[in-house]
Structures are given as structure tokens and as C-alpha cells.
Chain A
Amino acid sequence: MDSAGPQDQAIGMDTQEIETLFKNAERGDISSLNRIHEQFLRQNETDRGLSEIQAVLAKMSVNDFTATVTGKYSGSLADTAREVNTVQERLLHLTATATHIADGNIGDLEEFKKIGKRSDNDEMVPAFTRMMASISSMIADVNRLSAAAKEGGLSVRADVARHQGEFRTIIEGVNATLDAITIPLNEALRVSHEFSRGNFSARMNQNIHISGDLAKFRDALDGIGSNVSAAISEITRVADAYAKYDFTARIDRSANLSGDFVELLTSLDKIGSEVSEAIALVNVQVQNLTKEAGETSAGLSQISAGSEEIAKNTTHVHENMEKGHDGISQISKAMEDLAAAVEEITTNMENVSTLAKKTKDLSTNGVDLSRKANDSMGRINDATSVVNASITEISAKMDEIGKIVGIIRDLANQTNLLALNAAIEAARAGDAGRGFAVVAAEVKSLAQESRTSAENIETMIGDLQKRSNHAAEAVTVATKEVSTGSRDVEDTIKVFGQIVESIEQVSRNTEEVAAATQEQAATTEEITASVNEVTKLFEETEKESSDTAAATEESLASIEEINTAMGDVSRVVSSLTTEMTKFAV
């Protein structure tokens, strides 16, 4: 305000100044009077402004933010009026926001976040911002949970740490609510799943706390389980009994079963009672059958016994016949064997006779040959003696040769030595001895050769002597062998003589046996003829007995067949009876 300076000065006029102005006016100073007038007018405007502002503030103090300062003022009053209006506007805005929050509208959050703080000491706007943010996050969590629950996601929970104070309590409450529903629901799900798999013994876990409407749900589910279990166990019991042929079993009415089960159970009972009746009927008939089969069997046994007696007797006759026949056959066979044996003996005797003759001839030859051998032995002995003498002589000559060779070697040795000395002498003689040296060398080499030859002869003679010694030994052995052989041959000749004697004896005996055997052969033929006649008689009798046996065996076989059939019937009936006893009716 351009006029603020002087006016402020005027307003700031103190009492003393005013009194001075008044004194000046009393003295007729017009300018002071004008200044007093001006001061008055200004004072008047100030009073009016203050009273309006006061009225507005008074309304605001009772939360009435409808009024504003409307008057036109100048100076500091105008500033005051403007500030009051700003306060009023802000409060009105806050009121509107609070109203929005109360109505569930927190759309102002973004605007407040933008404002942040109006001054360093401003706590109003941050408080509003936080309030709206908390509410917003709570709403978000609750919305998320309810959306998940709508989709069936009961396991979803809100993070409690994100909330504070009562907000946290609310979220905890919501989580607890979900838990209270979810846990029983999951348990119910488990039980239902067991039911679906046919396990009706499953029950809700009693340790899980369930109350209110959910308790009813639990009781209903458990009720399904126990009712179905009871029905099934009753059906099972009765069916088991049926399976074990016990058709007396009936449904226990005291089990208090109701609904669709009743029809099923009634049907089961009906099966029991009808099967019982049928089996009772069969039983009676089986008993009758057993009795009749027993009677038939007894009759058959008697027939069978009679037939067997006949068969046994016939067999007995037959056996006796066969035994007789066998006996005759054996006699016949024995007679044949005997005839054959006699024949063989005759043949053998002839062979023996021939062989004996041959042996005799051979023995005679043997004796001749042995005599010749003996003569040869004698000559060998003579020859051996000659050889022996020769060898001894040779040995002696060899010894002599050895001695001579020894002398030759000694001579050669001496010659060698002489030749050597001659050579030495010749060499020492120098040129004069040269011719002699050649002769000496020749003599030496001849002597050397003689010595070598003599040594060779010595070796040979030694070898020959060794060999002639061997020969002499061999001849001695041969002489000994020949004399032994000579003795053996003499023994052999003696033995041959004995053989000839024995053979003659054998020949004589053989002839006697041959005569006896011929007589025996005649007797055997007579016996054989008689036996053949007896055999013919036996064969006829046997044929008749065998016909009888065949007939008896046939009838016995028929009875046996009947018996077998009867046995089958009996077995069937008895097994039937056994089977029937299994049924309890």
C-alpha cells in the first residue's frame, strides 16, 4: 500500500502526540485539526476491520468455516484479513478431505503426497498422508485376501508386519478368520478324499478346534463315515458268512441302518434265506442217494466175491496144468539135451582119439629131434673148447706183441734222443756239420714216426686184448649154457617117453567110453518117445482148462466194471455229502 508509511505513522501516534495535536488545534492550528480528523477516520476503519475479523475467527473456533473476511481494508489490516481467509480456505480443504475419508474415498492421497509439508513445523498434512496411506494398504490387503478367497485360494494370508496399531489388529483378525475356516475345510477335504477312495473309517481330527456352523459340518461328515462304515461292516460280515457256506447269517436290525442301505441289506437277507432252503432240499436228496448207493454196493460185492472164487479156482487148475506141462517140457528138453550131450561126447571121443594119435606121432618126432639136438650140443661143446683154446693162445701172442712194441718204442725214444744230440753236435760244428744235421733231422723224424706207430700199435693191442677177454668170457658162458641145454634135452626126451605112454592109455580109455555112449544114446531115444506122448495129453487138457478160465475172467471183468462204476457213484455221492456238510442252513 503506497500510503502505508504516513498512515502507519498516524496509527502509531501515541497519546502524547495526540494531546499535542489537540493543544495545537485549540490554538487554531487547522493542519493539526485535519490530522486529528484523519486519525479519527483511520481509527474508525480499524475498529470495523477488527470486529469483522473477530466475527470470522469466532465462527472458525466453533468449526464453522463458511465465513470469510469480505471488507476492503488497507495496511496491516488488509494483510491480516488475507491470512485469516487463507487459514479458512485450508481448514475448509482439510474438512473436505476428512469428509472424503469418512465416506471411504481416499483419492486425495496423491495430492497430499504432492504437498508433503507446508512448513517445517507442519504435522497436519503428513498426518493426513499417513492416515490415508495406512487405510489404503489395509484396503489393498483385505481386497487381495477377499479376491483370493473368492477364487478358492484359502491359503493366502496378509503380511501383518506391514500394518500398525489397530490396523494390524484388523488384518490379524482377517487372517484368523481365514484360518478358522481353512483348517477345518482342509480336514474335511482330507476326510472326503478318504471317503472317495472307499475308506469310510476316516474321521475329522478331534484335535482341530471347530465350533459353530463348522461343527455341524464336521458332525455331518463324520456321520456319513460312521453310517457307511456300519453298513459296510454289516454287509461284509454277512457276505463273509455266505462265503464260508454259512447261510444262517442275517443282518443285525439293531444296527439301526436307514435309507438306501435298508433295501441292499434286505436283498442280502433274502439271498441267505433262499439259498438255505435250496440247500436243505439238496441235502435230503443226497442222503437218499447215499443210502441207495450203499445198498447197491453191498449187492455187487457179494457177486464179485462169488465170481472171484470161481476165477481163483479156474486159475488154480490152469496153474497146475501149466506146471505139469512145464515139467514135461523140461523133461523133454532134458532128454534132448541128453541126446545132444551123448552126440557131443561121441564126437569129442573121436576127436580125442585122433588127437591122441597125432600127439603120439608128434612125441615120437620130438624124441628124435631132441636126440639130434643133444648130439649137436655135444659138437657145440667141442667147438667151444677149441675156440677157448684159440682165444687163450691169441691173448698170449698179444702180450708178446705188446712187449715187442714196448721195445720198439724205447728204441724210437733212444733214437730220437740220439738224433737230437746229433743235431746239436752238428749245429755246433757249424758248416762242417750241416750235412750231418740234415741226416740227424731225418733220423729224428723217423724215430718220431716209429714212436707214434708203436704207440698206436700199443693202443690197438690193448683194445684187442680187451676184446679177446670179452670173447673168452662169452665162450665160457656159452659152454655153460650148452651143458645146461644138453641136460635139458635129455630131460625132454624122458618127458616125451612118458607122454607117449599116457597117450596110449588115453586111447584105450576113449574106446571104452565110446562104446558106453552108444548104448546110452539108444536108451535116451526111447525115453524121449514116451515123454512126447505125455506132452500131447497135457496139451489137450490145458486147452480145455484155459477156455474155462477165459470165460470166468470175462464175467469177472464185467463185475469189476460195474463195481468201478459203483465206486465212482459212491465217491461222487460221498464227496457231495462232504461238500453239503459245509453249508450251514
Chain B
Amino acid sequence: MPAENRHEDPADLPEKIQVVEFLLGKEHYAIDLYDVKEVVDYTTITRLPDTPTYIKGIMDLRGEITTLIDLRERLNVAAEKNHDGDDNQRIIVLDEKLTGVKMGVIVDDVLSVSTFDQADVDRSSASLYNDDAAVIGIIRKKVRVRDQEISDLIVWIGISRILRDAGCIKS
């Protein structure tokens, strides 16, 4: 399924959404599963001169040069601690159909691949913020903690918009 399919027309929305959950600082975030190609370990990064601070650099992924974006830096998320070089730091390699070039985003940890009902997604609160913002909606994830059901809130972001703003992909 092409990524553009999820564009805003409530009637067209599929019943279920599939996302990759990850951490930025303490918060849970999610991006569309179909925007993700694979997840790789954090490796040596070669820095590039004269680029925005969120362009972390480039790396060699199986013989292909891949550009890396520090998502925390890009989204202005405050670091809980210094994660650079943390064991759990991962690089989510994005689908080439979306970007045209090999591109990955650095996150603090990748947790899982999850499926949610549309009912679990709150889109209205997202529109409260800047309509230019990367937030698509808030996913309510039910978790059982010691016999009590509570909701973890996951921030669902549209990675294509972020990359478009960064000028990494053509609109």
C-alpha cells in the first residue's frame, strides 16, 4: 500500500492502522509501518559539514550511503539523558519510495510493531496544534499494570511531512 493512502479523508481511512512504536526521550512515538523499511543498530556515523544540526551525518548501510536525521533534534524533544551511543539507540531506515534516497532517522529505542483500531486514535486534539505540525494524532494504547488498565499515549507523527519540511523529499 502506498504511503499517500493514509491522507486525510476520514471516509477513506482503513479500519486498522499499523505502526512502528519507538522512544524519543521518555515519550512514546509512532510512525506508519509502511514508511519503515527496516531497523538497524546504531553504528559509526560520518558527520557532514554545513548542514542543519538535525542532519546527524551519513553511514554505510550494506554498501549504500544513508543520510541520518536525529529525530529528537528535529522535533525539539528534550533528551532525558545523553543517549548518543546508547546501546538501545536505533536507526529506523525509511522506505525508499517515500524518500527517493536512502535515509534513516535516529531514535532512542524501537519498541514494537503494533496494530490499532481507528477508534484508539484521537485526531481532534492533534488539530489543536499548529496545523503544519508533524503530529497526525494521539494513539491511546491500553496497558495492564498490576490489574489496572491504563492508557499509554503514543504520539503518531507523519514522517513524510517532517522530511518534506527538511527538504529531503519533493512535495
Contacts and interface: CB of A to CB of B under 8 A. Distances in A.
Contacts, number: 32
A428 B115 CA distance: 12
Contacts of B36: 424
B40 A428 contact: no
A427 B90 CA distance: 19
B33 interface: yes
Interface in B15-62: 18, 20, 33-34, 36-41
B16 to A, nearest CB: 11
Contacts of A437: 113
A413 B37 CA distance: 19
Contacts of B38: 421, 424-425
Interface residues of B, number: 15
Contacts of A421: 38-39
Contacts of B12: none
Contacts of B131: none
A71 B19 CA distance: 180
Contacts of B39: 417, 420-421, 424
B105 interface: no
A128 B39 CA distance: 160
A426 B114 CA distance: 12
A427 B34 CA distance: 9
A423 B20 CA distance: 10
Given A420-B39, A421-B39, A428 B34 contact: yes
B41 A420 contact: no
Contacts of A325: none
B68 interface: no
Given A417-B90, A428-B34, 7 more contacts: A417-B40, A420-B110, A424-B37, A426-B113, A427-B113, A428-B33, A441-B112
Interface of B: 18, 20, 33-34, 36-41, 87, 90, 110, 112-113
Interface of A: 413, 417, 420-421, 423-428, 437, 441, 444
26 contacts: A413-B41, A413-B87, A417-B40, A417-B41, A417-B90, A420-B39, A420-B112, A420-B113, A421-B38, A423-B112, A424-B20, A424-B33, A424-B36, A424-B37, A424-B38, A424-B39, A424-B113, A425-B38, A426-B113, A427-B18, A428-B33, A428-B34, A437-B113, A441-B112, A441-B113, A444-B112
Top 3 nearest A-B pairs by Cβ distance?
A: A423-B113, A421-B38, A420-B39
